[in-house]
Amino acid sequence: MRGAVIVFPGSNCDVDCFHVWKDVLGQPAEYVFHKEKFSPEDFDLIILPGGFSYGDYLRAGAIARFSPAMDSVYKAAEKGKLILGICNGFQILLEAGLLPGAMMKNRDLKFHCHDVYLKVGTADSPFTNMYLPGEVVKMPIAHGEGNYYADADTIERLKREDRIVFYYSDEKGNITDEANPNGSVENIAGILNEERNVLGMMPHPERCAEEILGNTDGKRLFMSILEYLEGRVKIGKSRRS
């Protein structure tokens, strides 16, 4: 399944995402430079990687959404292609309006790089069908702006539509304030769009997808994508309709 990794000038997890899709999952992968456009038919999966897209001195992802490549991402999202935004990619998806809400600086104003426990909110998605709902997994975070915010109505709707994919939790799955690394509302670590084909998440599944790195909890996210793209699982809307 053809994967694209969008390369903004300040992307720095582009090679990591490329490596996982190509070398770990064994799928064809391509880089798309931010100045290029592509057709929605070109790729099955488009990854917006972590990093500092355009330096992000203004607000993470604020400039990236105007790039030519993002024009193509909007079109691909509309066509139902899978879009995965990780870390800075999540921030860009919010700025671009492909996902609801906004990102603020971590509540302690510090960059955080460490493992976190995540409670899987929903397995009913192209990205998480190989996890169990309620399961606790471990992934690294590495960000300074991961304090997700959305108003109460939006959060209510996300919950109602089962669109919260990961919550920061403790090892046992309790969603507590101590387990929240950045102040994110309701400990939200990742959300889906209404059509469930766009996922934004702060933790880095690509950094925990190989034995040698000591953790493979992130690999199942990419395997879920493959399961879905190859038609072995059905999810959400398609199942309900």
Partner 1 sequence: MGKAEEAKKLGLTDEEYNLIVQTLGREPNDVELGMYSVMWSEHCSYKNSKPLLKRFPTKAPHVLQGPGENAGIVDIGDNLAVVLKIESHNHPSAVEPYQGAATGVGGIIRDIFAMGARPVALLDSLRFGELDDPRVKYLFGGVVSGIADYGNCMGIPTVGGETYFNDAYKDNPLVNAMCVGIIRQEDIVRGKAQGVGNSVMLVGAATGRDGIHGASFASEELSEESESKRPSVQVGDPFMEKLLLEACLELLKEKWVVGIQDLGAAGLTSACSETAARAGTGIELDVALVPRREKGMTPYEVMLSESQERMLIIVEKGHEEDVKRIFEKWDLYAVKIGEVTGDGMLRVLENGKVVAEVPAKSLAEGAPVIKREGKRPAYMDMQDLDYSKIEIPENLSEVLLQLLASLNIASKAWVYQQYDHTVRTNTVVPPGSDAAVLRIKGTKKGIALTTDCNGLYCYLDPYEGGKQAVAEAARNLVVTGAKPLAITDCLNFGSPENPEVYYQFEKCIEGISQAARILEIPVVSGNVSFYNESCSRVIFPTPVIGMMGLLEDVTKHCTIAFKNPGDLVVLLGENTDELGASEYLRVIFNIQGGKPPRVDLEREKRLQLCCLKAIEKGILSSAHDVSEGGLAVAIAESCITGNIGFEGEIMSDIRADALLFGEGQSRIVVSLKEENLPALIELADKEGVKAAVLGRVVPEYFRINIKDSKGSCKKIELSLKEMAEVWSKSLERKVER
CA distance 130 to 116: 19
CA distance 184 to 94: 14
Query: Is the separation of the CB atoms in 26 and 103 below 8 Å?
Result: no
Q: Which region among 39-47, 124-132, 171-179, 205-213 touches partner 1 (by CB under 8 A)? A: 205-213
For partner 1, the closer CB: 1 or 15: 15
Q: C-alpha distances in angstroms, 227 versus 79, 122, 126, 145, 197? A: 19, 16, 8, 31, 14
For partner 1, the closer CB: 203 or 236: 203
Active site residues: 87, 204, 206
* One-character DSSP codes across 80-93: T-EEEEETHHHHHH
Residue 30 interacting with partner 1 (CB under 8 A): no
Residue 81 interacting with partner 1 (CB under 8 A): no
Segment 97 to 116, residues that bind partner 1, using CB under 8 A: 110-114
CA distance 94 to 148: 10
For partner 1, the closer CB: 157 or 223: 223
Segment 36 to 65, residues that bind partner 1, using CB under 8 A: 50-52, 54-57
Residue 26 interacting with partner 1 (CB under 8 A): no
Least separation in angstroms between residue 99's CB and partner 1 is 23
Q: Which region among 97-105, 158-166, 199-207, 223-231 touches partner 1 (by CB under 8 A)? A: 199-207
CA distance 207 to 14: 12
Q: State the pairing for strand pair 82-86/198-201.
A: parallel
- Select from 120, 137, 142 the least CA-distant residue to 49: 142
Binding mask 139-178 for partner 1 (x = CB under 8 A): -x-x-x----------------------------------
Least separation in angstroms between residue 151's CB and partner 1 is 30
CA 19 to chain centre: 16
Under the rule (CB under 8 A), what is the footprint of partner 1?
Answer: 9-13, 15-16, 19-20, 23, 33, 35, 50-52, 54-57, 110-114, 140, 142, 144, 204, 206-207, 209-210, 212-214
